[in-house]
Chains A and B, each alone.
Chain A
Amino acid sequence: MHKSIIKFTFAVLLIATSSNVVMAQENEDGRRYGNFCSSCHGTAGAAVSDAIPSIGGQHKDFLITSMLEMKPQVVDGKEQAPKRYSTLMQIFFKGYSEDEIKAMADWYSSRPWVPTNYPLNQDLVNKGKASANLDTCTSCHGTDGNNIEDTGIPRIGGQTPTYLYHALLEYKNNKRNADGRALEMDVVKEISDEELRALAEYFSSLR
C-alpha cells in the first residue's frame, strides 16, 4: 500500500514541480495590471464562489476575446457600447489599453486551472448529464468541458455554476452576440432556461 502512495505522491510532486518550472517565466506586467482582479475572481483567478467566473488557467485566446469585447471602444471621440454585456467589467476595461489586456490574459491564462469547490446540486447535475443537448456542448467543449485543442473555446469543466448559467442566458438573450463564437452558441436559443441551468451545474461538476 505504501508503495502505491509513494508512487502517487511522487507523481503529484513531479507534475507540480515540472509545471512550476515551466511557469517560471511569469508575465510580471500582466500580474501587476491584474493584481486586484483576484479580490473578485479569487487568488490567481481561482474563484471560490458561484456567480463570478474562475479566470486563472482559462484559455488565453478566449480571455483576450472576452475582455476586448467588454471594453468600450471609442469611435470618432465617442464611446460606443461594448460588444458584449457585462455588469461592471466594462468599467474596468475602459481603464486598460489592448496591450495591457493581453498582458493580463497572458498572466491569468498561465495560472493553474483550479476547479471550483462550490457545493453542487446533485439533482441538477443528474438532469444536466441526462440532457439530450449534452452532446451538442461536448462536441466543442470536450467531454470533460476542458477542450485544450482550440484555445478560443473556454474551459467550462469545473467552472463556477451560476456564472455558467448566466453566460448561457446571455447567449440565449443576444447579450453576447459579438462574433462568430456567439453564432455557434445560437444552439442554446432552443433550450429551456431550466435545462440550461442543469447543463451549467453538470459542467461545473466536472472537477
Chain B
Amino acid sequence: MKKLSRRNFVKTTAISAASLSILGLYGCKKSAETAATPAETAKPAETASTAAAKKAGHTVVIAGGGYGGATAAKYLKLLNPSINVILIDRNAEHVSCAMSNEVIFGLRNISEITMPLTKLAEKYGIEFKQAEVTGLDGEKKILKTSAGDVAYDKLIVSPGISMDYDPALNFTAERQKEIPHAWIAGPQTLQLKDMVSKIKAGDTIIFRTPLALYRCPPGPYERACLFGNEALKKGAKVIVLDPNPQIMSKKPLFEAAFNNLYKDVLTYYSGVEVTGIDYDKKIVKTNKGDFQGALINYVPNQKAGELVFTLGLVEPGKKWASVDPKSFESTLIKDVYVIGDAIDSAPVTEMPKSGTIANATAKVVAENLVRIFAGKEPRVPLVGNTCYSLVSEQEGIWIATLYEYDATKNKIITRNGANGIPKEASVENRINGHSWGNNILSDTFM
C-alpha cells in the first residue's frame, strides 16, 4: 500500500465519501468494503472495482449506450461495484429520442436531452469505449470492435432501431437527407426543427407515420399534434398519412385532439399506402390520393438496430432479435442478452418499444446477472411502462401499464389488469410529463 501524504489522504477520503453517497443508494456491503480501504482509491470506483472484478472474473460488456445500455451499465455498478462493466457506443453522447419531438417544436433545448456517456462512466466506474462493434465470437465470448477484441462473461446488446426503407420509393442517401425522419434523435432532430421554423401561412405539411412495429407507439401522434399546433399558429395545414388501420396508442385522446383542437387544420388518413414520391415536385402518391406539401416528414418502417444483424442475433427472414422472455437472453447465442427496441417483441410480450421499457428491462437483466454471478436463481421480469405525450404546448396525456412474465403463456403480459390512460388531456399531465422526462433521463444517464 502506498504511503499517503496528508493532502492525498484528504483527497481520497473525500472521493470515497462522494462515491459512497452514490453507491449507498444500493448494494451497501460493497460500499462499506470500498470505504475501508480509502488509501487504494485515488479513483476509487474504477481502480478498486476493476481490480476486484479481474480477480472474480465477472465482466459484463454492453453494446449500445441508449436507454437500455446506459441503465444496464449504471445499475450493474449500483448493485455490485466489483463487476467489471464495459460500455461501448460509437458516440460519446446519446441524444434521447423520448422528448425529441419537444426539441423539434422549440419546447426543449437539444442540450437537455443530450447525455454524455463519458460522465456516466466516470461517476459509476464504468469503462467506456467509443468504438464500432464489428463482430462476435459467441463460443469464445469475445466481442470484436474497432478498438480491439473485448472478452465478456455476459454481453448485453441494446442497439435500438434502424430504418427499413421501402425500396420502391427509391430513397437514395441524398433524398434521406432532404426528407429527414428525425425518428433517431440527433442531427435530423435539428434539421426538422429548422424546417418547422420555416413553415409559413398557406403551407401544407405532409407527415407519414411508420407501420407498426416501430419505436414509441404514441410518438407519431404526438408529433402530428405538434404539427397541428404549429399549423394553427402559422395558418398552415397538416396531412397525416398513417399506414396503420387506426391510431396505435392512446387512441381516444389523440382522436379527441385531432377532432377538437386541430379540426380546422389537420386531416388524418389511416390505411395509407405510399406508392411513390415525386421528390422534385414534393408530391406523395398514395392509395388515398396524391398530396403536395412544402414540408415532407416521412418516417420509414423500422427494424432492429444494424448491430443485432451484424452479431447474428436475428433469425433468418426476421427484422428483430429473438429473445427468451424470461431472461431477455438471445435464443440464438448463449450469454448474450438483447434489450430495448431491438427485440422481436410480438411473439413474447405486449410491452411497447419505449425508452421506459428499455430502462426497466435493463434493471431486470442487471439484477439477474448479479444474482447469476452470486450463484442465485434469476427472477422473472416484472416491469412497468409510463409514457407521457403532449397533445399541445399546454396539455399532456399518458399511458401506464404494469407487466409481468406469465409462465403459462411464456409471454410478458399486463399484470392484474393494471393498464390505463386518462379520461382527457390536462395541464397537470403536461407538468408531470415534463418531470417524468427529467427523472428518466437522470435515472438512465446520470
Contacts and interface: CB of A to CB of B under 8 A. Distances in A.
Interface of A: 2, 5-6, 9-10, 12-13, 16-17, 19-21, 23-24, 26, 31-33, 35-44, 46-52, 56, 87-88, 91-96, 111-112, 160, 162, 166
Given A2-B10, A13-B35, A32-B379, A39 B443 contact: yes
Nearest 6 interchain pairs by C-beta: A95-B418, A95-B402, A49-B435, A49-B438, A44-B25, A36-B360
Given A32-B382, A111-B25, A9 B443 contact: no
A10 B28 contact: no
B363 interface: yes
Nearest to B438: A49
Nearest to A33: B382
Contacts of B382: 32-33, 35
Nearest to B25: A44
A6 B400 contact: no
Given A21-B29, A32-B367, 15 more contacts: A2-B6, A2-B7, A13-B13, A13-B17, A20-B35, A21-B32, A36-B383, A38-B439, A42-B442, A43-B74, A51-B431, A51-B435, A87-B428, A92-B402, A94-B418
Contact of A40 (B36, B418, B436): B436
A46 B26 CA distance: 12
A114 to B, nearest CB: 8
Contacts, number: 166
Nearest to B428: A87
Given A36-B363, A48-B439, A49-B434, A91 B401 contact: yes
Interface string B412-446: 00111111101000001101101111111011101
Residue of A10, A33, A43 with most partner-chain B CB within 10 A: A43
A10 B10 CA distance: 9
Nearest to B432: A51
A206 B7 CA distance: 33
Residue of A88, A93, A94 with most partner-chain B CB within 10 A: A88
**Chain B interface size, under 10 / 10 to 19 / 20 to 34 / 35 or more:** 35 or more
B386 interface: yes
Interface in B309-356: 356
Contacts of A112: 21, 24-25
Contacts of A41: 439
Nearest to B431: A51
Contacts of B437: 49
Contacts of A38: 363, 439, 443
A16 B439 CA distance: 24
B24 to A, nearest CB: 5
Interface of B: 6-7, 9-10, 13-14, 16-17, 20-21, 24-29, 31-32, 35-36, 38, 74, 78, 356, 359-360, 363-364, 367, 379, 382-386, 398, 400-402, 414-420, 422, 428-429, 431-432, 434-440, 442-444, 446
Nearest to B24: A20
Residue of A38, A42, A46 with most partner-chain B CB within 10 A: A38
B131 to A, nearest CB: 27
A113 to B, nearest CB: 11
A6 B9 contact: yes
Given A5-B10, A10-B13, A36-B383, A16 B29 contact: no
A94 B416 CA distance: 7
A17 B25 contact: no
A116 to B, nearest CB: 11
Nearest to A51: B435
B431 A43 contact: no
A95 B415 contact: yes
A24 B7 CA distance: 31
6 contacts: A10-B13, A16-B20, A38-B363, A88-B400, A88-B422, A95-B415
Contacts of B14: 9, 12
Contact of A9 (B10, B356, B432): B10
Contact of B439 (A39, A91, A94): A39
B108 to A, nearest CB: 13
B82 to A, nearest CB: 15
Contact of B386 (A39, A48, A49, A111): A39
Nearest to B356: A39
B423 to A, nearest CB: 11
Contacts of A5: 10
A26 B422 CA distance: 35
A10 to B, nearest CB: 7
Nearest to A31: B367
A17 to B, nearest CB: 5
A77 B440 CA distance: 36
B383 A35 contact: yes
Residue of B385, B414, B443 with most partner-chain A CB within 10 A: B443
A75 B259 CA distance: 38
B9 to A, nearest CB: 7
A13 B261 CA distance: 56
Residue of B414, B422, B439, B444 with most partner-chain A CB within 10 A: B439
A16 B21 contact: yes
A59 B401 CA distance: 26
Contacts of B31: 16-17, 20
A36 B361 CA distance: 8
Contacts of B401: 91
B420 A88 contact: yes
A160 B432 CA distance: 12
A124 to B, nearest CB: 16
Contact of B442 (A48, A95, A160): A48
Contacts of B439: 38-42, 47-49, 52
